[in-house]
A and B are shown apart, each in its own frame.
Chain A
Amino acid sequence: DAKTTQPPSMDCAEGRAANLPCNHSTISGNEYVYWYRQIHSQGPQYIIHGLKNNETNEMASLIITEDRKSSTLILPHATLRDTAVYYCIVRVGTASKLTFGTGTRLQVTL
């Protein structure tokens, strides 16, 4: 599996967009990018995933660079409830066993 690199922590003001970067320079052609988040000590929550095209759903947008070596998760209007650890994971689409790294701790402030 391709290794991912995320900043350990980020701050964002409430109401502003939160842009969480992820580097995955060794990603291979059949590997997807997945994003999950974990609020406090609850179970992680699936956010979004993509292969090469940008993706958007009701929670967030995922922007993947053309060379696929990095991606950005965008929370368009962050709220205090978005404070969580965000995990960027790269996996082959047919593989199971999701492996979580250390993620980025996002703190949304007033």
Chain B
Amino acid sequence: EADIYQTPRYLVIGTGKKITLECSQTMGHDKMYWYQQDPGMELHLIHYSYGVNSTEKGDLSSESTVSRIRTEHFPLTLESARPSHTSQYLCASSEHRGGYGYTFGSGTRLTVV
């Protein structure tokens, strides 16, 4: 039973559209993360948050933005989708600092046509 939820699971959208990928967790974790992964490739951290009203950019530059208004919710927004944004987006949360016990969602597979 998943404690971190991502919606939608799949999304096909036209170029130029604004989209928001949803991520919610029910574990009360302060720390949340967004990763991007192309098929067969490495995961890259694009955004993270250590708590409400705290967001930082990750190791890979991304045109997406995030917000953290509530502890349980960490949405990712693309203001104008492009084909280069086609990828899988994975959300994660953790209770602890360090690498222990990250919980990942099932991901959103985005295709921009």
**Which A positions have Cβ atoms within 8 angstroms of B?**
32, 34, 36, 38, 41-46, 49, 89, 91-102
- Are B88 and A97 in touch, CB under 8 angstroms? no
Grouping DSSP codes into helix (H, G, I), strand (E, B) and loop, the A interface class, with mixed when no group exceeds half, is: loop
**A101 and B42 in contact, given A41-B88, A89-B99, A96-B48 (Cβ under 8 angstroms):** yes
- Are A102 and B42 in touch, CB under 8 angstroms? yes
- Are B99 and A32 in touch, CB under 8 angstroms? yes
**Which B positions have Cβ atoms within 8 angstroms of A?**
31, 33, 35, 37, 39, 42-43, 45, 48, 50, 58-59, 88, 90, 92, 94, 97-107, 109
Q: Which 9 A-B pairs have the closest CB atoms?
A: A43-B104, A34-B99, A100-B43, A91-B99, A93-B98, A94-B97, A98-B99, A43-B90, A96-B97
Shortest CB-to-CB span from B28 to chain A, Å, is: 17
B58, B94, B101, B104, most chain A CB atoms within 10 A: B104
